[in-house]
Structure 1
Amino acid sequence: DAADAMPAAPRQAPPSPFRAEGIAIAPPMPPAVPAGTPPRTLETAEQWLDLIAASGLSGPSRELAANAAFVGYRNGVLRLALLPGFEYLQSERSLGALAQTLAQALGSAPKIVVETGNAQAETLHERADRQRGERQNAAEAVFMADPQVRHLLAQGARVVPDSIRPFEE
Protein backbone atom coordinates (compact mmCIF):
# COMPACT_ATOMS: atom_id res chain seq x y z
CA ASP A 1 0.00 0.00 0.00
CA ALA A 2 1.46 3.34 -1.05
CA ALA A 3 -0.08 5.23 1.90
CA ASP A 4 1.73 2.99 4.37
CA ALA A 5 5.08 3.58 2.74
CA MET A 6 7.27 5.90 4.68
CA PRO A 7 9.21 8.51 2.75
CA ALA A 8 12.84 7.65 2.49
CA ALA A 9 15.09 9.44 4.92
CA PRO A 10 17.14 12.14 3.24
CA ARG A 11 20.60 10.97 2.36
CA GLN A 12 23.38 12.44 4.43
CA ALA A 13 26.19 14.03 2.48
CA PRO A 14 29.60 12.66 3.33
CA PRO A 15 31.49 14.87 5.76
CA SER A 16 33.35 17.67 4.02
CA PRO A 17 37.08 17.90 4.49
CA PHE A 18 36.59 21.68 4.85
CA ARG A 19 34.95 23.09 7.95
CA ALA A 20 32.93 26.26 7.76
CA GLU A 21 33.29 26.86 11.46
CA GLY A 22 37.08 27.05 11.43
CA ILE A 23 39.14 30.21 11.70
CA ALA A 24 40.73 31.57 8.57
CA ILE A 25 44.44 32.06 8.99
CA ALA A 26 46.31 34.23 6.54
CA PRO A 27 49.51 32.80 5.13
CA PRO A 28 52.58 34.14 6.89
CA MET A 29 53.92 37.38 5.46
CA PRO A 30 57.44 37.13 4.10
CA PRO A 31 59.91 39.09 6.19
CA ALA A 32 60.75 42.57 4.91
CA VAL A 33 64.37 41.46 4.69
CA PRO A 34 65.24 37.82 3.93
CA ALA A 35 66.96 35.85 6.67
CA GLY A 36 70.72 36.02 6.46
CA THR A 37 70.71 39.53 5.01
CA PRO A 38 73.13 41.81 6.86
CA PRO A 39 71.49 44.61 8.85
CA ARG A 40 70.89 47.85 6.96
CA THR A 41 72.41 51.10 8.02
CA LEU A 42 70.11 53.95 8.89
CA GLU A 43 72.06 57.18 8.75
CA THR A 44 70.03 59.52 6.55
CA ALA A 45 66.46 60.65 6.08
CA GLU A 46 66.52 59.19 2.55
CA GLN A 47 67.47 55.76 3.94
CA TRP A 48 64.58 56.07 6.43
CA LEU A 49 62.12 56.91 3.63
CA ASP A 50 63.32 54.00 1.48
CA LEU A 51 63.15 51.60 4.42
CA ILE A 52 59.60 52.60 5.33
CA ALA A 53 58.43 52.58 1.70
CA ALA A 54 59.62 48.97 1.33
CA SER A 55 58.65 47.80 4.83
CA GLY A 56 55.22 46.31 4.18
CA LEU A 57 53.80 48.15 7.19
CA SER A 58 50.05 48.71 7.22
CA GLY A 59 47.43 50.38 9.36
CA PRO A 60 48.32 52.72 12.21
CA SER A 61 52.01 51.77 12.26
CA ARG A 62 52.25 52.63 8.54
CA GLU A 63 50.59 56.01 9.17
CA LEU A 64 52.96 56.71 12.06
CA ALA A 65 56.01 55.87 9.94
CA ALA A 66 54.72 57.79 6.89
CA ASN A 67 54.16 60.96 8.94
CA ALA A 68 57.34 60.75 11.03
CA ALA A 69 60.49 62.57 9.97
CA PHE A 70 63.87 60.97 10.60
CA VAL A 71 65.94 62.75 13.26
CA GLY A 72 68.63 60.14 13.89
CA TYR A 73 69.54 56.55 14.70
CA ARG A 74 72.37 55.84 17.10
CA ASN A 75 73.17 53.07 19.61
CA GLY A 76 69.87 51.32 18.95
CA VAL A 77 67.75 54.45 19.52
CA LEU A 78 65.67 55.73 16.61
CA ARG A 79 64.60 59.35 16.98
CA LEU A 80 61.65 60.53 14.90
CA ALA A 81 59.73 63.81 14.77
CA LEU A 82 56.00 64.32 14.31
CA LEU A 83 54.46 67.65 13.44
CA PRO A 84 52.03 69.02 16.04
CA GLY A 85 48.62 67.52 15.47
CA PHE A 86 49.94 64.07 14.56
CA GLU A 87 50.71 62.92 18.11
CA TYR A 88 47.63 60.68 18.07
CA LEU A 89 49.50 58.33 15.71
CA GLN A 90 51.96 57.21 18.41
CA SER A 91 50.21 54.48 20.34
CA GLU A 92 52.05 51.66 22.09
CA ARG A 93 50.68 49.23 19.53
CA SER A 94 51.80 51.24 16.47
CA LEU A 95 55.23 51.90 18.00
CA GLY A 96 55.60 48.19 18.80
CA ALA A 97 54.63 47.12 15.29
CA LEU A 98 57.03 49.67 13.81
CA ALA A 99 59.90 48.49 16.06
CA GLN A 100 59.20 44.85 15.19
CA THR A 101 59.23 45.56 11.46
CA LEU A 102 62.41 47.65 11.75
CA ALA A 103 64.09 44.85 13.72
CA GLN A 104 64.02 42.68 10.61
CA ALA A 105 65.89 45.32 8.61
CA LEU A 106 68.19 46.70 11.32
CA GLY A 107 69.12 43.44 13.02
CA SER A 108 67.47 44.33 16.34
CA ALA A 109 64.40 46.22 17.47
CA PRO A 110 65.25 49.87 18.01
CA LYS A 111 64.00 51.92 20.92
CA ILE A 112 61.81 54.55 19.26
CA VAL A 113 61.72 58.08 20.67
CA VAL A 114 59.16 60.39 19.08
CA GLU A 115 59.56 64.15 19.40
CA THR A 116 56.82 66.62 18.59
CA GLY A 117 57.88 69.74 16.83
CA ASN A 118 59.33 71.12 13.69
CA ALA A 119 60.54 68.17 11.65
CA GLN A 120 63.61 69.10 9.60
CA ALA A 121 63.50 66.12 7.23
CA GLU A 122 60.83 65.18 4.73
CA THR A 123 58.30 62.52 5.72
CA LEU A 124 57.19 59.69 3.44
CA HIS A 125 53.79 61.36 3.18
CA GLU A 126 55.37 64.70 2.22
CA ARG A 127 57.63 62.98 -0.33
CA ALA A 128 54.64 61.27 -1.96
CA ASP A 129 52.79 64.62 -2.16
CA ARG A 130 55.86 66.34 -3.63
CA GLN A 131 56.39 63.59 -6.21
CA ARG A 132 52.70 63.66 -7.16
CA GLY A 133 52.96 67.44 -7.69
CA GLU A 134 56.10 67.03 -9.79
CA ARG A 135 54.38 64.43 -12.00
CA GLN A 136 51.36 66.74 -12.36
CA ASN A 137 53.54 69.71 -13.35
CA ALA A 138 55.44 67.58 -15.87
CA ALA A 139 52.19 66.31 -17.42
CA GLU A 140 50.85 69.85 -17.76
CA ALA A 141 54.12 71.08 -19.31
CA VAL A 142 54.18 68.25 -21.88
CA PHE A 143 50.52 68.82 -22.76
CA MET A 144 50.88 72.58 -23.14
CA ALA A 145 54.04 72.16 -25.28
CA ASP A 146 52.27 69.88 -27.77
CA PRO A 147 52.09 71.63 -31.17
CA GLN A 148 48.47 70.61 -31.75
CA VAL A 149 47.43 71.96 -28.35
CA ARG A 150 49.26 75.22 -29.05
CA HIS A 151 47.50 75.48 -32.41
CA LEU A 152 44.08 74.96 -30.79
CA LEU A 153 44.87 77.52 -28.09
CA ALA A 154 45.85 80.02 -30.78
CA GLN A 155 42.42 79.51 -32.36
CA GLY A 156 40.68 80.38 -29.09
CA ALA A 157 40.45 77.00 -27.37
CA ARG A 158 41.03 76.85 -23.64
CA VAL A 159 42.25 74.17 -21.26
CA VAL A 160 39.82 73.16 -18.53
CA PRO A 161 41.56 73.59 -15.15
CA ASP A 162 42.46 70.29 -13.41
CA SER A 163 41.68 68.25 -16.55
CA ILE A 164 45.28 67.20 -17.22
CA ARG A 165 46.51 64.11 -15.35
CA PRO A 166 49.78 62.17 -15.39
CA PHE A 167 49.63 58.72 -17.00
CA GLU A 168 49.86 56.93 -13.61
CA GLU A 169 46.57 58.37 -12.37
Structure 2
Amino acid sequence: MGDAEQWLDLVARSGLSGPSRQLAANAAFVSHHDGVLRLALAPGFEYLRSERSVGELAQALAQSLGSVPKLLIETGSAEAETLHERAHRQQGERQNAAEETFMNDPNVQQLIQQHGARVVPDSIRPYNE
Protein backbone atom coordinates (compact mmCIF):
# COMPACT_ATOMS: atom_id res chain seq x y z
CA MET A 1 0.00 0.00 0.00
CA GLY A 2 1.55 3.22 -1.10
CA ASP A 3 -0.95 6.03 -0.95
CA ALA A 4 -4.05 7.44 0.69
CA GLU A 5 -6.38 6.19 -2.05
CA GLN A 6 -5.23 2.61 -1.51
CA TRP A 7 -5.74 3.06 2.24
CA LEU A 8 -9.32 4.24 1.72
CA ASP A 9 -10.08 1.33 -0.60
CA LEU A 10 -8.53 -1.13 1.86
CA VAL A 11 -10.57 0.22 4.77
CA ALA A 12 -13.77 0.22 2.71
CA ARG A 13 -13.44 -3.47 1.90
CA SER A 14 -11.83 -4.57 5.18
CA GLY A 15 -14.94 -6.10 6.72
CA LEU A 16 -14.19 -4.34 10.00
CA SER A 17 -17.04 -3.41 12.29
CA GLY A 18 -17.56 -1.68 15.60
CA PRO A 19 -14.81 0.38 17.24
CA SER A 20 -12.04 -0.94 14.97
CA ARG A 21 -14.08 0.15 11.93
CA GLN A 22 -14.56 3.59 13.44
CA LEU A 23 -10.83 3.83 14.12
CA ALA A 24 -10.00 2.92 10.52
CA ALA A 25 -12.68 5.23 9.06
CA ASN A 26 -11.37 8.21 11.03
CA ALA A 27 -7.66 7.58 10.50
CA ALA A 28 -5.84 9.28 7.65
CA PHE A 29 -2.98 7.64 5.77
CA VAL A 30 0.45 9.14 6.39
CA SER A 31 2.89 6.50 5.11
CA HIS A 32 3.64 2.79 4.81
CA HIS A 33 7.27 1.65 4.78
CA ASP A 34 9.00 -1.54 5.92
CA GLY A 35 5.90 -2.98 7.56
CA VAL A 36 5.13 0.19 9.52
CA LEU A 37 1.83 1.90 8.73
CA ARG A 38 1.61 5.48 9.99
CA LEU A 39 -1.84 6.93 10.39
CA ALA A 40 -3.11 10.25 11.74
CA LEU A 41 -6.12 10.58 13.99
CA ALA A 42 -7.64 14.04 14.33
CA PRO A 43 -7.73 15.57 17.81
CA GLY A 44 -10.96 14.58 19.49
CA PHE A 45 -10.88 11.06 18.06
CA GLU A 46 -8.14 9.70 20.33
CA TYR A 47 -10.73 7.69 22.24
CA LEU A 48 -10.95 5.36 19.21
CA ARG A 49 -7.31 4.33 19.66
CA SER A 50 -7.74 1.49 22.16
CA GLU A 51 -5.37 -1.46 22.31
CA ARG A 52 -8.15 -3.78 21.17
CA SER A 53 -9.22 -1.61 18.21
CA VAL A 54 -5.63 -1.16 17.05
CA GLY A 55 -5.04 -4.92 17.30
CA GLU A 56 -8.20 -5.77 15.37
CA LEU A 57 -7.30 -3.24 12.69
CA ALA A 58 -3.78 -4.65 12.33
CA GLN A 59 -5.13 -8.20 12.02
CA ALA A 60 -7.69 -7.15 9.40
CA LEU A 61 -5.00 -5.35 7.39
CA ALA A 62 -2.74 -8.41 7.47
CA GLN A 63 -5.04 -10.22 5.05
CA SER A 64 -4.47 -7.58 2.38
CA LEU A 65 -0.90 -6.60 3.21
CA GLY A 66 0.45 -10.12 3.61
CA SER A 67 1.66 -9.58 7.17
CA VAL A 68 0.51 -7.84 10.33
CA PRO A 69 1.68 -4.22 10.07
CA LYS A 70 3.02 -2.25 12.99
CA LEU A 71 0.55 0.60 13.41
CA LEU A 72 1.76 4.01 14.50
CA ILE A 73 -1.30 6.15 15.06
CA GLU A 74 -0.45 9.77 15.75
CA THR A 75 -2.77 12.51 16.91
CA GLY A 76 -2.87 15.35 14.42
CA SER A 77 -4.08 16.31 11.01
CA ALA A 78 -2.92 14.79 7.76
CA GLU A 79 -3.17 15.91 4.17
CA ALA A 80 -5.03 12.75 3.25
CA GLU A 81 -8.77 12.35 3.51
CA THR A 82 -10.26 9.82 5.93
CA LEU A 83 -12.96 7.38 4.88
CA HIS A 84 -15.39 9.26 7.12
CA GLU A 85 -14.47 12.59 5.50
CA ARG A 86 -14.80 11.08 2.04
CA ALA A 87 -18.27 9.71 2.81
CA HIS A 88 -19.33 13.09 4.20
CA ARG A 89 -17.98 14.92 1.14
CA GLN A 90 -19.65 12.49 -1.27
CA GLN A 91 -22.95 12.82 0.60
CA GLY A 92 -22.73 16.60 0.24
CA GLU A 93 -22.01 16.25 -3.47
CA ARG A 94 -25.01 13.93 -3.93
CA GLN A 95 -27.21 16.34 -1.97
CA ASN A 96 -26.11 19.32 -4.06
CA ALA A 97 -26.67 17.39 -7.29
CA ALA A 98 -30.16 16.35 -6.19
CA GLU A 99 -31.11 19.91 -5.29
CA GLU A 100 -29.70 21.28 -8.54
CA THR A 101 -31.46 18.64 -10.64
CA PHE A 102 -34.76 19.30 -8.89
CA MET A 103 -34.54 23.07 -9.16
CA ASN A 104 -33.58 22.90 -12.85
CA ASP A 105 -36.54 20.70 -13.72
CA PRO A 106 -38.80 22.63 -16.15
CA ASN A 107 -41.95 21.52 -14.32
CA VAL A 108 -40.61 22.78 -11.00
CA GLN A 109 -39.61 26.07 -12.60
CA GLN A 110 -43.08 26.41 -14.09
CA LEU A 111 -44.73 25.85 -10.70
CA ILE A 112 -42.46 28.43 -9.09
CA GLN A 113 -42.91 31.06 -11.80
CA GLN A 114 -46.61 30.64 -12.56
CA HIS A 115 -48.01 29.65 -9.19
CA GLY A 116 -45.55 31.06 -6.67
CA ALA A 117 -44.61 27.61 -5.42
CA ARG A 118 -41.79 27.35 -2.91
CA VAL A 119 -39.47 24.50 -2.13
CA VAL A 120 -39.45 23.59 1.54
CA PRO A 121 -35.86 23.91 2.82
CA ASP A 122 -34.15 20.55 3.46
CA SER A 123 -36.97 18.63 1.75
CA ILE A 124 -34.95 17.38 -1.21
CA ARG A 125 -32.95 14.17 -0.77
CA PRO A 126 -30.81 12.18 -3.19
CA TYR A 127 -32.65 9.23 -4.69
CA ASN A 128 -30.44 6.61 -3.02
CA GLU A 129 -31.45 7.63 0.53
TM-score where L is the length of structure 1:
0.75
Number of corresponding residues? 128
- Please name the residue that 2:121 is paired with: 161
Higher strand share: 2
1:126 positional shift? 0.3
1:88 positional shift? 0.7
Task: Could you tell me which runs of 5 or more consecutive residues in structure 2 were left unpaired when the two chains were aligned.
Answer: none
Task: Among all aligned residue pairs of Structure 1 and Structure 2, give the percentage whose two residues are the same amino acid.
Answer: 73
Structure 1 vs Structure 2 CA RMSD: 0.5
- Please name the residue that 1:93 is paired with: 52
Larger radius of gyration: 1
TM-superposition CA deviations, 1:21-71 (whole Å, max 9, x none): xxxxxxxxxxxxxxxxxxxxx111010000000010001100000000000
Give 1:63's match in structure 2, choosing from 19, 22, 26: 22
Give 1:117's match in structure 2, choosing from 60, 76, 84: 76
Larger RCO, structure (CA 8 Å, separation 6 or more): 2
**Paired residues for 1:30-49 under 5 Å:** 42-49=1-8
Higher helix share: 2
Task: Could you tell me which runs of 5 or more consecutive residues in structure 1 were left unpaired when the two chains were aligned.
Answer: 1-41
TM-score where L is the length of structure 2:
0.98
**Stretches (4+) displaced over 6 A:** none
